[in-house]
């Protein structure tokens, strides 16, 4: 029995030393130590051993098992160490190689234009105030002197949640909320997304952005409005920029005007950019209508004010000479990387 155990151990050790991988090592373990392995067979034959010799034989089998398990574990550790060393070699980082530059995002043209507009007006003492995009019909229309069935409402036909709630068509609703607070005087601009049922083309979109301004104070005149917007135009388009006001009609202002700026491409001499006129329409403005002040709880006999509004996309298109508004929404990285 002792010779048989020695032969089994020697045979196992020989195979372990010749093994070249974890799979082969596992096969050797099963062949010698498994349920049907060589050592297990010896234990099963203990019934043929004399009772007085069984403890000695059992001890010899256990010693042989312990010896093989120890050698198998040492070989396994060696294999794992070798695999780890190979892995480290393959995954070594050459710190002398140039690093991969991360892809950095760029500010959208709308964002650039908005930040510039906000900087100009905050420099004049204005506050930037935002409001909800889903608005009550009252704040979007009625409080701005646009009652039900008013023709101006058809021009701004929008997306209705129900008969009383709409997606706002203008950020003027933010001005109404601010006036209702009763904290006077007011100097604010209200940037934000607005919605109108326009067809998508080179100059229109059902969703776009506006920046509207409001000043409410005592002794405010149209001259203050003109001076403010003239300074704004110079800051945005250049010191040589001139402004021109044309009479217009808005329900919420009286008198009202459209403001043009001299073409910053040709200096006002006429070119393709300004369609030969030398002027470019940029925004609408006017003195706040007394009805609007009354509905917001402000006494029009004591306070007056002016308001103005511009499309943010229009400013971006003009400033960066983009000829199609749809480019602003397509998220083409090649386009956005230019800014």
Range of the domain at 61: 2-90
Q: Are residues 183 and 243 in the same domain?
A: yes
> b/e per residue, 113-144, with b = 16+ CB within 10 A?
bbeebeebbeeeebeebebeeebbbebbbbbb
Structure tokens at 91: 């995954």
Q: Are residues 73 and 125 in the same domain?
A: no
Coil, strand, or helix at residue 172? helix
Q: Are residues 227 and 113 in the same domain?
A: yes
Q: Are residues 273 and 146 in the same domain?
A: yes
Q: Given the DSSP bridges, would you call strands 279-288 and 304-311 parallel, antiparallel or unpaired? A: antiparallel
Domain end residue (candidates: 90, 125, 160): 90
Query: Cα(156)–Cα(208) distance, rounded to whole angstroms?
Result: 13
Listed in order, strand segments (DSSP E) in 203-278 are 207-217, 243-250, 253-262
Q: Are residues 68 and 117 in the same domain?
A: no
Say if 122 falls within a structural domain.
Answer: yes
Q: Are residues 39 and 130 in the same domain?
A: no
How would you class 181 by CB atoms within 10 Å of its CB: exposed for 0-12, middle for 13-18, buried for 19 or more?
A: exposed
pLDDT digits (tens, 9 = 90+) for 268-322: 778 877 788 889 899 999 999 999 999 999 999 999 999 999 999 999 988 888 8
Domain end residue (candidates: 62, 90, 118): 90
Q: Are residues 68 and 116 in the same domain?
A: no
Say if 102 falls within a structural domain.
Answer: no
Coil, strand, or helix at residue 230? helix
Q: How many helices (H) and strands (E) does the chain have?
A: 12, 9
Query: What pLDDT is recorded for position 181?
Result: 93
Say if 72 falls within a structural domain.
Answer: yes
Say if 97 falls within a structural domain.
Answer: no
Say if 248 falls within a structural domain.
Answer: yes
Q: Are residues 137 and 65 in the same domain?
A: no
CATH number assigned to the domain comprising residue 205: 3.30.930.10
Domain end residue (candidates: 25, 59, 90): 90
Say if 38 falls within a structural domain.
Answer: yes
This prediction's pTM: 0.67
Q: How many domains does the chain have?
A: 2
Q: Are residues 82 and 135 in the same domain?
A: no
Q: Are residues 243 and 275 in the same domain?
A: yes
Structure tokens at 101: 């530059």
Say if 98 falls within a structural domain.
Answer: no
Query: What pLDDT is recorded for position 39?
Result: 67
pLDDT digits (tens, 9 = 90+) for 5-38: 677 777 777 777 777 777 777 777 777 777 666 7
Q: Are residues 49 and 156 in the same domain?
A: no
Say if 313 falls within a structural domain.
Answer: yes
Q: Which residue stretches of the chain have pLDDT < 70?
A: 1-5, 35-37, 39-40, 42-54, 57, 150-157
Q: Are residues 139 and 9 in the same domain?
A: no
How would you class 225 by CB atoms within 10 Å of its CB: exposed for 0-12, middle for 13-18, buried for 19 or more?
A: buried
């Amino acid at each position: 029995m002792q010779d048989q155990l020695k032969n089994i151990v020697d045979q196992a050790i020989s195979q372990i030393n010749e093994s070249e991988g974890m799979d082969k090592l596992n096969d050797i373990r099963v062949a010698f130590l498994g349920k049907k392995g060589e050592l297990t067979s010896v234990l099963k034959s203990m019934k043929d051993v004399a009772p007085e010799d069984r403890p000695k034989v059992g001890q010899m089998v256990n010693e042989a098992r312990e010896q093989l398990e120890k050698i198998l574990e040492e070989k396994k550790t060696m294999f794992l160490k070798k695999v780890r060393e190979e892995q480290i070699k393959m995954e070594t980082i050459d710190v002398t190689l140039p690093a991969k530059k991360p892809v950095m995002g760029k500010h959208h043209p709308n964002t650039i234009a908005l930040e510039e507009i906000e900087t100009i007006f905050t420099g004049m003492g204005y506050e930037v105030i935002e409001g909800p995009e889903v608005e009550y019909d009252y704040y979007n229309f009625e409080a701005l002197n646009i009652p039900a069935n008013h023709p101006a409402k058809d021009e701004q036909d929008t997306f209705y949640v129900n008969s009383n709630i709409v997606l706002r068509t203008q950020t003027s609703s933010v001005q109404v909320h601010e006036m209702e607070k009763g904290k006077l005087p007011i100097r604010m601009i209200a940037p934000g997304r607005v919605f109108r049922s326009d067809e998508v083309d080179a100059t229109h979109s059902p969703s776009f952005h506006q920046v509207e301004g409001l000043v409410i104070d005592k002794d405010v005149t149209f001259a203050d409005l003109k001076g403010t917007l003239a300074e704004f135009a110079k800051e945005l388009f250049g010191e040589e920029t001139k402004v021109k006001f044309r009479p217009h009609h808005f329900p919420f202002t009286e008198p009202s005007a459209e403001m043009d700026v001299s073409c910053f491409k040709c200096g006002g001499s006429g070119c393709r950019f300004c369609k030969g006129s030398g002027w470019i329409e940029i925004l609408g403005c006017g003195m706040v209508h007394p009805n609007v002040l009354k509905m917001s709880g402000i006494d029009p006999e004591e306070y007056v004010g002016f308001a103005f509004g511009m499309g943010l996309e229009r400013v971006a298109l003009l400033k960066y000479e983009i000829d199609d508004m749809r480019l602003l929404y397509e998220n083409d990285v090649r386009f956005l990387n230019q800014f």
